[in-house]
Amino acid sequence: MNNIFDNQPLAPAEAAALPILLAALAEVNGQDAYSTAATALGKLRRTEYLVLPLGVALAIVPIAEVGTLTSASLNDAQYLANVYALNKAIAPVGSNAVLFGLIRMQAVAHGWATDQREIRYELPIPDAIAMFAADVTANPAYLADAGVWAFLTPIIAEGVFRTTGHHYLTGQAADYDRKYEAVWRASLTPSPVPSFAPGVIYHTALHWVGPARARLVLEALIGTDRIPNAIAIRSNAAPAGTAVVTTSAAVIDAFQASDLHGLLAAHVGADMTIVTTAAAAIRADPVAYHVTQVAYNRPARPPAIVAELEAAAAAAARIAWLTQGFINAMLGDAALSRAMALRKHAENNPMGLKRAERFFRLLAKKSVDNVDALFSADVGA
């Protein structure tokens, strides 16, 4: 091979370095220098992409058919065996290569690969069927487990991405592990961990399934027996960055359940209305309020939505002393007591927070009959 600049043969050191250079160029080819979506989503190295057999067109699976295994082309034994063998060959070091290959094969069979980008192609493996048959015969339980994990993991990962802004962060592994495990447990479905390290199953194995397709599948299948109820009830969980609004709205709902709403409305009714209106809109279409909408194949948030969210967040901050005071005094054992979204705003008005806590504790003992004293001083956040 010649040097392209002077048409002279490459020196041995240059020839040895050339494949490394070409691999690096292939890795970055087509990628922007910086992308907020890529930063939030993360990405696989090209060597970790889903591998499909070269020369066979990937079948297009409609959203509503994902998980049905109805596509004839995706039931072709030779094709699926090659998907298995090609991906088993690139399983991360130290992971279960058979399970890794099976999960990726099942994900393709379920229809997850349609319209995805982190895919590359390699020549088929001649003995793929024999390899697949031998591995499945030796590990009969793997096939069913891999099928469940391949179908549900992208949907669960979309929920984590929606509510945190990332699929998985190694630096916050314990927090992310708990989030995933809680959904598997609530779904009464065995978790893929410890069969896989969390970083392998939630990033490497299935990262190539983007949140856009996972979200569309979830929306299409809610109400069917193919989506666990635990996932369905989390489908409108608020996106990252909106917790101050949705948490405040939850407390306001508790005000209403306690007949406090009418008493408080005279003092902070406008702010409560702004918050509950925005929270209802967020629950109706969480993706519309996600900061990384491009990950869902949507345009950036329009100015009207940005302004609505900013106004609601400001209103929630103004009454945080009141809502956090209610949480501290009345909801010690409830899930809301673990919410952190309001604390920093409430702490901007420590006197108001203390007064709210005292008021609600007295209210619980039936020791107060009006709220005027609660607002007798300047307690605005």
Tell me if 357 is assigned to some domain: yes
Tell me if 344 is assigned to some domain: yes
Report, as an integer, the average pLDDT of 94-104.
97
Instruction: Determine the Cα–Cα distance for residues 281 and 277; give it in Å rounded to an integer.
Output: 6
Residue 33 predicted with pLDDT over 50: no
Band of residue 25 on the pLDDT scale cut at 50, 70, 90: very low
Tell me if 27 is assigned to some domain: no
Q: Is 370 exposed, middle or buried (0-12, 13-18, 19+ CB in 10 A)?
A: exposed
Instruction: Determine the Cα–Cα distance for residues 219 and 213; give it in Å rounded to an integer.
Output: 10
Tell me if 277 is assigned to some domain: yes
State CA 339 to chain mean position distance: 19
367 against 25, higher pLDDT: 367
Integer angstrom CA distances of residue 269 from 266, 273, 275, 276, 347: 6, 6, 10, 11, 21
| pLDDT at 188 (0 to 100) | 95
Residue 63 predicted with pLDDT over 70: yes
Same domain, 263 and 354: yes
21 against 134, higher pLDDT: 134
Same domain, 140 and 256: no
Average pLDDT, whole number, for the chain?
A: 87
Tell me which amino acid residue 300 is: A
Tell me if 191 is assigned to some domain: yes
| pLDDT at 147 (0 to 100) | 94
Residue 366 predicted with pLDDT over 90: no
Q: Of 235, 268, 299, which marks where a domain is finished?
A: 235
Q: Of 235, 258, 283, which marks where a domain is finished?
A: 235
| pLDDT at 16 (0 to 100) | 55
Both tokens assigned to 224: 């069917």
| pLDDT at 7 (0 to 100) | 52
Same domain, 278 and 134: no
With vertex at residue 39, the alpha carbon angle to CA 182 and CA 283, rounded to the nearest 5 degrees, is 50
Instruction: Determine the Cα–Cα distance for residues 119 and 126; give it in Å rounded to an integer.
Output: 21
State CA 65 to chain mean position distance: 22
Both tokens assigned to 142: 């793997």
Residue 23 predicted with pLDDT over 70: no
Tell me if 172 is assigned to some domain: yes
Same domain, 194 and 78: yes
Same domain, 229 and 271: no
Band of residue 88 on the pLDDT scale cut at 50, 70, 90: very high
Domain limits at 90? 44-235
Among 46, 4, 47, CA closest to 29: 46
Q: What share of the chain is helix, strand, coil (3-state, %, to 5)?
A: 60, 5, 35
Instruction: Determine the Cα–Cα distance for residues 218 and 72; give it in Å rounded to an integer.
Output: 23
Report, as an integer, the average pLDDT of 347-370.
85
- Secondary structure class of 51 (helix, strand, coil): strand
Residue 128 predicted with pLDDT over 80: yes
Same domain, 229 and 251: no
Residue 50 predicted with pLDDT over 90: yes
Band of residue 351 on the pLDDT scale cut at 50, 70, 90: very high
Report, as an integer, the average pLDDT of 218-233.
95
| pLDDT at 337 (0 to 100) | 78
Report, as an integer, the average pLDDT of 94-120.
96
Q: What is the pTM of this model?
A: 0.82
Both tokens assigned to 97: 């290569």
Tell me if 18 is assigned to some domain: no
Same domain, 159 and 201: yes
Same domain, 230 and 321: no
Band of residue 35 on the pLDDT scale cut at 50, 70, 90: very low
| pLDDT at 375 (0 to 100) | 81
> What pLDDT, in 10s, does the model give residues 134-183?
999 999 999 999 999 999 999 999 999 999 999 999 999 999 999 999 99
> What pLDDT, in 10s, does the model give residues 296-331?
999 888 899 999 999 999 999 999 999 999 999 988
245 against 12, higher pLDDT: 245
Same domain, 277 and 156: no
Among 214, 156, 207, CA closest to 42: 207
| pLDDT at 108 (0 to 100) | 95
Number of domains in the chain: 2
Neighbours of 39 (CB within 10 A): 12
Among 79, 81, 59, CA closest to 70: 59
Q: Of 235, 257, 288, which marks where a domain is finished?
A: 235
The percentage of residues in the chain with a pLDDT greater than 70, rounded to a whole number, is 85
Instruction: Determine the Cα–Cα distance for residues 103 and 108; give it in Å rounded to an integer.
Output: 9
Residue 287 predicted with pLDDT over 90: yes
**Gyration radius from the chain CA atoms:** 26
Residue 93 predicted with pLDDT over 70: yes
Both tokens assigned to 18: 């050339």
Residue 333 predicted with pLDDT over 80: no
Same domain, 171 and 250: no
Band of residue 112 on the pLDDT scale cut at 50, 70, 90: very high
| pLDDT at 31 (0 to 100) | 39
Same domain, 286 and 189: no
CA torsion sign for 316, 321, 322, 326 is: positive
- Secondary structure class of 75 (helix, strand, coil): helix
Tell me if 19 is assigned to some domain: no
Same domain, 208 and 312: no
- Secondary structure class of 224 (helix, strand, coil): coil
Q: Which residues contact 357 (CB under 8 A, 6 or more apart)?
A: 325, 328, 329
Q: Which residues contact 37 (CB under 8 A, 6 or more apart)?
A: 292, 294, 295
CA torsion sign for 50, 53, 56, 61 is: negative
